[in-house]
Amino acid sequence: MENLNEKRWHNLPEIEVEGLLDSSVANGLDRPEVDLRKEKFGPNSITQRKGQSPWVRFLLHFHQPLVYILLAAAIIKLALGGVVDSSVIFGVVLLNAIIGFLQESKALSALEALSKSLISETLVLRNGEKQRINAADLVPGDIVLLASGDKVPADLRLMQVRNLQVDESALTGESLPVEKHTDIVEQEASLGDRVNMAYSSTLVTYGTGVGIVVAIGDRTEIGRISELIASAELLDTPLTRTIARFSHLLLYAILGLAALTFAVGLWHGGSVVDMFMAAVALAVAMIPEGLPAVVTITLAIGVARMAKRNAIIRRLPAVETLGSTTVICSDKTGTLTRNEMTVRQMWAAGKEFQVTGTGYEPSGEITLQDQPAGLDDEPVLVELARAGLLCNDSVLKQGEQGWKIDGDPTEGALLVSARKARLEPRAESDRYPRIDTIPFESEYQYMATLHQAEKPLVYLKGSVERILACCDSMLDDNDEQQKLNADLINEQVEALAGQGLRVLAFACKAMPNGTENINHQDVEDGMVFLGLQGMIDPPRDEAIDSVRACQAAGIRIKMITGDHAVTAGAIAGQIGLDERLAPGQTPKTLTGRQLTELSDQEMVQASLDTAVFARVSPEQKLRLVEALQSSGQVTAMTGDGVNDAPALRRADIGVAMGQTGTEVSKEAADMVLTDDNFASIKAAVEEGRGVFDNLLKFITWILPTNAGQGLVIIVAVMLAEPLPVLPVQALWINMTTAVLLGLTLAFEPQEPGIMTRQPRTPGTPILNHEMLMRIALVGILLLAGSFGLFEWALYQGATIEQARTIAVNVFAVGQSFYLLNCRSLRYNMFRLGLFSNMWIWAGIAAMTLVQIFFTHNTLMNRLFETAPISLLDWLHIVMVGLAIFLIIEAEKLFHLRKERGGKASGSLPR
């Protein structure tokens, strides 16, 4: 009983499995043995792993360089008696942390969802008696009895099966239920190919079975996935990494300039206290206090926009991460495809027919050589469709959300193809009432139904190999019987299978009058072959368009699926997943077995060069994501099953399916698609790029204020002049402009061509050379305007309070005009539409009113050491703002013309 988890149970015969587990299929375990094993192996549950406490997660929101700068400034101001100033800064930091904490409070609950998935009851055999127990009480060696509708309670080696089919989509990604048997499977078989095993948390959809428990709790496949989730590292997003680098640079620059100001002031003969106050004033002036709050709010606005486009964001930075994505690793079933099996081709009487339409909606037609097939002239084709309709236990229904199938997806496809052949289910059932049925059994690989007609008629459907063995003739184009041509049929089957189609064969046979029941002997020979129907889960039309849009945006799409390689490759070819190939060409495909043979370096290269990965395990999905990230790719990963959770958690952004996704996958993901549609990922990428554009506009807009205020203080200290802007006034400008003006940029609509440019290169600075030059230019213009008018006012006999009020208002008005420049970093605002963002004008109006109140209200004059100024002073201030606007518009026009002329060495962000 040692090292049970190291056994390859799928590769062992049943008798050896019983011996190793010291158990018996006939009697099961006795009570004393169960108690011993419970004590040794523990309960059948996933171990809860301790995560960070809520307090620790909350405090981590303060663990950012920019926040450290703000906290340091607040503490210094508090120590110097600036209670109001420090309170405002503390409030901004606290609000930002609370918003982030609330958005991310569920990010680590995937393990709890995994544990809940195991709480159920199961039927076991103990002491030779059947008993229903809590699944948590299972032990290795227990004999479990499975029936349709059961959730498999532990990992089982199947010992007996009768038509057993298990839905393993949550674990392997396999789109259809898997038929199980008890035969030995080769040792290196992938998880999805171990058909003699039933794994914990999968669902029995058909038949019955008996299995012996070989693994429980953490030792199950789902338990291993739990460990992968726990060990998968949560990466910083591109935004948090970029902001962190930017904040470090800003920290060093501010501290350096403050130290320089202090030193220069002392050198000019200033007192230590005065120069220290000047250095603090410089630090407060140059810190963009509003940046963390505006970043958070801008991301939150992006969350709201994405929600309207069927994408629910669970972690705020994921909004921007989508805009930086360079690779999307997508599941196949339900995301790129419709998850609705559809007959695409029918072969009857030597003719190949195409079937139009997709999914379960019975709209479309059957064509021959691109022309509608004359159904009145194709009796064999109609009979083929009728066989699929009548030899069928599923039901096609129309509901509020469209057409749905009650039953097997494959049978659903046959019902739809029959409707396209103008056969109505009810009319056909009335015309050919069913008398008897031979249900599908994996041993025989077919289903047969007996119907009342002029003479009783048997319809047979199943695997091609099995149906051909039952037939000795086939129908020709004249509806006449001829000798069966098995070579011709097999040639056609190979052609259809090569397109990734699942092929079923159909036959019929007239029975003697009075026949009321049938058995296997009745259909084992003498059947008349009718034809073939080839079906596939087709690509979504909108997914094809979205894949092309993503490729145009420089994003590569890769399919990672648990499905078979041929099917996956065929779908990928139809979608055009590899843009290097002509439409319809099947891209390069690697299977899970091939991936196991690759070294880490080979895996990195394969992850870049290959478009389709089929039959992959959870570890391989995780390894593929890590390989892509190691080569510098910003990777998005989609998934809906338990098996996807580790890769979802590790990816830069994990995308779970809202409709078909398991709770585990949703909890591990950063984003959940409410419609399970790849088109929504494209929409989210588009919104993410818009969010980053607006963040970049805000940063480009806010930094000149801080730079200008810092330069004003530095110049004043160097010239031994009074400070034109006091710390409390700088704080006022920083906070009011950020909230009233800067925040309005978050509402800017997307600029044209946002999905025709390449993704940002990972690791590039948040601001390029031209943006830095623009920020410096505006900072210098604000310095010249504020310091110039400050000195001019003093020269004209104004009080120091009036002169400072003028200097402060230069920053407020100058930033209002510059805000119009920043609506686009590339084009002028008239091209965007003067009133396409009314929040801009509302913000400018609010800022104007606030500054008038700041300047002319007596209480504000006392609090901020300001004084009323004249109308002429206001005119001078507005002229400075207008000059800034015109100069920056001219600078943008210069760069745009330079770029169009092919002379620019780099391009501005759009």
> Which residues are identified as catalytic?
331
Location of structure tokens 């129908």: 475
Distance from C-alpha of 287 to C-alpha of 345, rounded to nearest angstrom: 67
For residue 482, which phi and psi values (nearest 5 degrees)?
A: -140, 170
Distance from C-alpha of 556 to C-alpha of 608, rounded to nearest angstrom: 9
Distance from C-alpha of 828 to C-alpha of 834, rounded to nearest angstrom: 10
3-state SS, residue 473 = strand
What does the CA dihedral 755, 757, 759, 760 come to, rounded to 10 degrees? -130
For residue 677, which phi and psi values (nearest 5 degrees)?
A: -115, 130
3-state SS, residue 861 = helix
- Look at residues 561, 693, 548, 559 and name the one whose alpha carbon lies nearest to residue 616: 561
3-state SS, residue 577 = coil
DSSP output for 97-132: HHHHHHHHTTTT-HHHHHHHTT--EEEEEETTEEEE
Q: Is 364 left (phi over 0), alpha (psi -120 to 50) or beta?
A: left
DSSP lists the bridge partners of residue 133 as: 122
Specify whether the CB–CB gap between 704 and 782 falls below 8 A.
Answer: yes
> How many alpha carbons fall within 13 Å on the CB side of residue 83?
0
DSSP alpha helix (H) spans, 719-837: 727-736, 769-795, 800-821, 829-832
Distance from C-alpha of 451 to C-alpha of 511, rounded to nearest angstrom: 10
| Exposure class string for 792-828: b at 16+ Cβ within 10 A, else e | ebbeeebeebbbbbbbbbbbbbbbbbbbbbbbbbbbe
Specify whether the CB–CB gap between 568 and 332 falls below 8 A.
Answer: yes
Contacts with 732 (C-beta within 8 Å, 6 or more apart), sequence order: 808, 854, 864
DSSP output for 582-607: -TTPPPPEEEHHHHHT--HHHHHHHH
Distance from C-alpha of 77 to C-alpha of 283, rounded to nearest angstrom: 11
Terminal-to-terminal C-alpha distance of the chain: 65
Distance from C-alpha of 827 to C-alpha of 782, rounded to nearest angstrom: 22
Specify whether the CB–CB gap between 121 and 134 falls below 8 A.
Answer: yes
Amino acid (1-letter code) at residue 456: P
> How many alpha carbons fall within 13 Å on the CB side of residue 734?
31
Angle between helices 838-856 and 800-821 (to 10 degrees): 180
Specify whether the CB–CB gap between 803 and 790 falls below 8 A.
Answer: yes
- Look at residues 813, 816, 829, 817 and name the one whose alpha carbon lies nearest to residue 893: 829
Distance from C-alpha of 609 to C-alpha of 626, rounded to nearest angstrom: 15
Distance from C-alpha of 641 to C-alpha of 663, rounded to nearest angstrom: 9
Q: The sheet that has 327-330: what strands, in order across it?
A: 311-313, 671-673, 653-657, 635-639, 327-330, 556-561, 612-614, 589-591
What does the CA dihedral 160, 164, 168, 174 come to, rounded to 10 degrees? 120
